[in-house]
Amino acid sequence: MSIEFLSDEQREIGELARRFADEQVAPQAARWDRDHEFPRETVAALGELGLMGVCVPPELGGSGADFVSYTLVLEQISRADAGLGTALAVHTGAGTMPIVVHGSEEQRQRLVPPLAQGHEIASFALTEAGSGSDAGAMLSRVEEQGDELLLSGTKQWVSNGSQAHNFTVFALDPAAAMKPSAFIARRGASGMTLLGEAEKLGQHSSSTADIGFEATPVERLGEPGSGMAIALSTLDGGRIGIAAQATGIAQAALDLAVGYAKERVAFGRPIGGFGAIQQKLAEMQTEIEAARALTLRAARLKDAGLPHTIEGAQAKLFASRVARHWTGEAIQVLGGYGYTKDFPAERYFRDAKITEIYEGTSEIQRLVIARGLLGEIARED
């Protein structure tokens, strides 16, 4: 399915996000990048438009649109600023949706509406210093003390970490024979410390923070021992979001390269007149359309309640490679100017790389796809 086949509602939400991205995000993106600024006011404005809870049900304060609409919003916002795209993707897909899906009715009613309306920001804390792809090797643990559950450990590279009010966090659980469970930690809880922001290659407008917990009171999310299942099903959806983000970054690079190819003159003609440039731009547009089609296919399967693990992995694997490769080629089209901060090509290139790493590296996506093809023999453990 490409964008020609969208419903009127999907098209309207996509257009709303496109206008917002062009008018309120793109003009500020270079400054946010330079100043490493998390755009709080713009996040609040996204909330006012209903874009912080696009696919959250209306009875929980969300916009009640489908997952396809959510991916369209993510693509548009990421086209203008990938760091804001990360904030939005992690807030909605990784931070809020697990509460919508796995929370008790009381938790859903209490925790979701402020998140869906953008009054609060959500995060997802799975990774630790010694456990990334191998998330099950986490060391964070919860202890039961009377009626209280107390979390101790350190979570690494939590997107939105310095801004978040709500942390969906994973830790070993004595109630499940020390298998991981999911928990909710609230900002300001005792024993919780912001340990610092990571210094990154790109996406400087996003927060990537380490968070320490020392006997921090938390509440349980879902059944004891269901932590890995909750994390993996959350990432199944989250990966479709990252594919949309990567598609948006690549589209921004294409739009820039096409505009430049029409204007820049060399040897007495616009560089778009040279076959080498034409070939590059044609390949670039074709692969971006393919990335978008894979992303929308996975999102449609999710909306239909059909399995989408493999399709989401394919979309993320492909779209992130497209973004990383073609943002580099966009720099090439701009020549020396592309390497400078006079143009955003170098920012797109820096911002794109992480889409091959977070929410599951490309190697892990290939593993997921290979297991679909080969079954258990593709498991190394």
* CB nearer ligand FAD, residue 343 or residue 358: 358
Q: What is the 3-state secondary structure (H, E, C) of 261-300?
A: HHHCEECCEEHHHCHHHHHHHHHHHHHHHHHHHHHHHHHH
List the interface residues with ligand FAD, window 191-220 (CB under 6 A). 200, 208
List the interface residues with ligand FAD, window 155-174 (CB under 6 A). 157-159
Q: How far is it, in rounded angstroms, from Cα 80 to Cα 140?
A: 36
List the interface residues with ligand FAD, window 214-273 (CB under 6 A). none
Q: How far is it, in rounded angstroms, from Cα 5 to Cα 68?
A: 11
DSSP β-bridge partners for residue 166: 122, 186
Other CB atoms within a 10 A radius of the CB of residue 273 amount to 14
The reply on whether position 132 binds ligand FAD by CB under 6 A is: yes
The reply on whether position 101 binds ligand FAD by CB under 6 A is: no
The only residue of 90, 149, 277, 313 in contact with ligand FAD, by rule CB under 6 A: 90
* CB nearer ligand FAD, residue 39 or residue 360: 360
The only residue of 40, 148, 363, 374 in contact with ligand FAD, by rule CB under 6 A: 363
Q: Which residue is nearest to ligand FAD (CB)?
A: 132
Q: How many angstroms separate the Cα of 124 from the Cα of each of 19, 89, 343?
A: 29, 11, 33
Contact 119, 96 (CB under 8 A): no
Total residues contacting ligand FAD (rule CB under 6 A)?
22
Distance of closest approach, residue 278 Cβ to ligand FAD, in angstroms: 35
The only residue of 2, 133, 145, 286 in contact with ligand FAD, by rule CB under 6 A: 133
Length of the chain: 381
Q: How far is it, in rounded angstroms, from Cα 339 to Cα 10?
A: 36
Return the range that interacts with ligand FAD (CB under 6 A); candidates 71-79, 212-220, 308-316, 354-362: 354-362
82-89 and 26-35 helices, crossing angle to 10°: 90
Distance of closest approach, residue 206 Cβ to ligand FAD, in angstroms: 7
Return the range that interacts with ligand FAD (CB under 6 A); candidates 269-277, 278-286, 315-323, 353-361: 353-361
Alpha carbon of residue 97 to chain centroid: 13
Options 359, 363, 376, 380, the catalytic residue = 359
Q: How far is it, in rounded angstroms, from Cα 157 to Cα 44?
A: 23
Q: How far is it, in rounded angstroms, from Cα 345 to Cα 253?
A: 6
The only residue of 16, 52, 73, 126 in contact with ligand FAD, by rule CB under 6 A: 126
Q: Which two tokens stand for residue 325?
A: 């490769």
* CB nearer ligand FAD, residue 101 or residue 367: 367
* CB nearer ligand FAD, residue 128 or residue 311: 128
Question: HSE (CB half, 13 Å, CA atoms) of 194?
Answer: 16
Return the range that interacts with ligand FAD (CB under 6 A); candidates 130-138, 172-180, 219-227, 332-340: 130-138
**For this structure, is 199 an active site residue?**
no
Q: Nearest CA to 92 among 126, 45, 55?
A: 55
The reply on whether position 45 binds ligand FAD by CB under 6 A is: no
Q: Nearest CA to 156 among 212, 202, 200?
A: 212
The only residue of 127, 166, 207, 309 in contact with ligand FAD, by rule CB under 6 A: 127
The only residue of 361, 369, 372, 378 in contact with ligand FAD, by rule CB under 6 A: 361
- With H, G, I as helix, E, B as strand and everything else as coil, classify residue 142: strand
The only residue of 194, 229, 357, 378 in contact with ligand FAD, by rule CB under 6 A: 357
- With H, G, I as helix, E, B as strand and everything else as coil, classify residue 254: helix
Distance of closest approach, residue 134 Cβ to ligand FAD, in angstroms: 6
Return the range that interacts with ligand FAD (CB under 6 A); candidates 17-25, 55-63, 210-218, 361-369: 361-369
Q: How far is it, in rounded angstroms, from Cα 277 to Cα 210?
A: 43
Q: Could you give the residue numbers annotated as active site? A: 359
Q: Which residues bind ligand FAD (CB under 6 A)?
A: 90, 124-127, 132-134, 157-159, 200, 208, 354, 357-361, 363-364, 367
